């Protein structure tokens, strides 16, 4: 006879049994991904507020060598899970070993990067653990009295910010959008504990096999790492306007960004989109060309060191947060910027 499990009949857990903040340290070819340093920076703050340890957990074929880097960037402890079966990422293998580790150590908070792997792994773990998962978080803070993490993320297409809590289940899990938080600074003097875990993992636990990894070269839009971003919006009028934006970005030594309106209009691909429904960025200089400044766009770029806005409308929201607001026709102004950069290429570094 088949018996269906009613989730409401599950025995409630004691949230007091759970302790510490975990960061899942994603790696590729044995090297941790840049977004891990962002998670460590934010995780350090959460752990300090809760007065617990920050633990980095890294799984792979041979990844112990990354422990020192994780400790130097804020981790108090590093749990290393090594197995030849973890050499290549597979959902089954990584879900099993991490699930087993979570059951053993009982962390109260787990932070995961909202990458392709994180978005695959996070929901699988949350489902097995019968807990919540807040995806694509852009803000995290602790309610010290209740020992709850308040997880803020865009909702309804970025038109609204929702703050979510997980009061009755543990661990509390979040995937965090890359580029939102600052990276942790390296402190070579930091010391910590490395814990080696030998996973109970067999080939039969894995239903998929990676036969071959094929890498191909394509032009990558690396918005999170860019120091200069030149973004175009609806004010360009048409897709042809991005030719001017591309020329501007090239002479300025930057990359091309775009508003959601420009992407939705089909003028440029989605991987150029800046904002809470695209990529959050913190460049040294952000040029906003013909962008009015919808709330979701502002939230994704307003932490830039210097914002230069070019717009015909002096009252556009983007103009109120800009360090330099230039009122006028971008088709007349941008060529002037381009000429100045051509005259003195070193301007891009000043």
Mean pLDDT of residues grouped by 10 in the chain (350 residues)? 44 82 93 93 95 96 94 96 92 94 95 92 94 90 91 74 89 89 92 93 87 68 87 93 94 93 91 86 93 87 91 92 93 92 63
| Overall domain count for the chain | 2
One domain for residues 242 and 313: yes
One domain for residues 39 and 156: yes
The dihedral through the CA atoms of 118, 124, 129, 133 has a sign that is positive
Calculate ∠ Cα 230-301-140, nearest 5°: 155
One domain for residues 240 and 182: no
Containing structural domain, residue 233: 228-349
One domain for residues 153 and 35: yes
Residue 121: inside a domain: yes
**The last residue of a domain, from among 205, 237, 254:** 205
Q: What is the pLDDT of residue 1?
A: 41
**The last residue of a domain, from among 205, 240, 273:** 205
One domain for residues 161 and 302: no
Closest CA to 304 of 185, 224, 222, 249: 224
Residues facing residue 154 across a β-bridge: 161
What pTM, to 2 d.p., does this model score? 0.72
User: Residue 239 is part of a domain; what is its CATH number?
Assistant: 3.40.50.1220
Residue 6: inside a domain: no
Task: Dump strand ranges (E) for the chain.
Answer: 21-24, 27-28, 31-32, 54-60, 77-82, 109-113, 133-137, 139-143, 148-155, 160-164, 172-176, 193-197, 228-232, 255-258, 285-289, 306-311, 324-327
One domain for residues 246 and 288: yes
One domain for residues 260 and 179: no
One domain for residues 23 and 149: yes
Pairing mode, if any, of strands 228-232 and 255-258? parallel
C-beta neighbour count of 168 within 10 angstroms: 10
Q: What is the pLDDT of residue 118?
A: 93
One domain for residues 157 and 270: no
One domain for residues 246 and 191: no
Residue 3: inside a domain: no
Residue 328: inside a domain: yes
CB 177 within 8 A of CB 280: yes
Residue 36: inside a domain: yes
Calculate ∠ Cα 136-26-59, nearest 5°: 135
One domain for residues 93 and 187: yes
Residue 8: inside a domain: no
Q: What is the pLDDT of residue 159?
A: 64
One domain for residues 33 and 179: yes
Residue 151: inside a domain: yes
Residue 157: inside a domain: yes
Cite the DSSP H helix spans in 142-280: 241-252, 260-264
* CA pair distance 128, 219, nearest whole angstrom: 38
User: Residue 151 is part of a domain; what is its CATH number?
Assistant: 3.40.50.620
Q: What is the pLDDT of residue 11?
A: 54
Region class of 174: left (phi > 0), else alpha (psi between -120 and 50), else beta: beta
- Taking each helix axis from N to C end, the angle separating 241-252 and 330-343, rounded to the nearest 10 degrees, works out to 20
**The last residue of a domain, from among 205, 238, 254:** 205
Q: What is the pLDDT of residue 24?
A: 96
């Amino acid at each position: 006879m088949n018996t269906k499990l009613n989730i409401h009949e599950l025995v409630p857990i004691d949230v007091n049994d759970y302790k510490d903040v975990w960061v899942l340290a994603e790696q590729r070819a044995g090297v941790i991904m840049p977004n891990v340093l962002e998670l460590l920076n934010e995780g350090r703050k959460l752990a300090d507020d809760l007065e617990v340890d920050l633990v980095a957990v890294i799984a792979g074929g041979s990844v112990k060598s990354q422990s020192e880097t994780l400790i130097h960037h804020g981790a108090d402890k590093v749990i290393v899970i090594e197995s030849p079966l973890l050499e290549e990422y597979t959902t089954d293998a990584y879900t099993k070993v991490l699930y087993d580790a979570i059951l053993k150590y009982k962390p109260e908070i787990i932070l995961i990067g909202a990458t392709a792997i994180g978005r695959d792994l996070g929901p699988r773990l949350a489902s097995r653990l019968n807990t919540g998962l807040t995806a694509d978080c852009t803000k995290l803070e602790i309610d010290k009295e209740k020992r709850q993490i308040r997880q803020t993320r865009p909702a309804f297409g970025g038109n609204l910010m929702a703050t979510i809590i997980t009061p009755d289940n543990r661990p509390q899990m979040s995937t965090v959008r890359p580029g939102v938080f600052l990276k942790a600074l390296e402190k070579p003097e930091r010391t910590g504990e490395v814990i080696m875990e030998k996973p109970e993992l067999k080939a039969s636990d894995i239903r998929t096999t990676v036969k071959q990894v094929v890498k191909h070269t394509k032009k990558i839009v690396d918005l999170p790492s860019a120091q200069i971003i030149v973004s175009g919006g609806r004010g360009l009028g048409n897709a042809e306007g991005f030719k001017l934006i591309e020329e501007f970005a090239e002479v300025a030594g930057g990359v091309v960004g775009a508003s959601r309106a420009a992407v939705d209009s089909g003028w440029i691909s989605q991987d150029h989109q800046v904002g809470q429904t695209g990529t959050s960025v913190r460049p040294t200089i952000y040029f906003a060309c013909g962008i009015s400044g919808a709330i979701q766009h502002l939230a994704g770029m307003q932490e830039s060191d210097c914002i230069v806005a070019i717009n015909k409308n002096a009252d556009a929201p983007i103009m109120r947060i800009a360090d330099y607001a230039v009122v006028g026709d971008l088709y007349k102004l941008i060529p002037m910027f381009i000429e100045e950069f051509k005259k003195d290429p070193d301007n891009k570094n000043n």
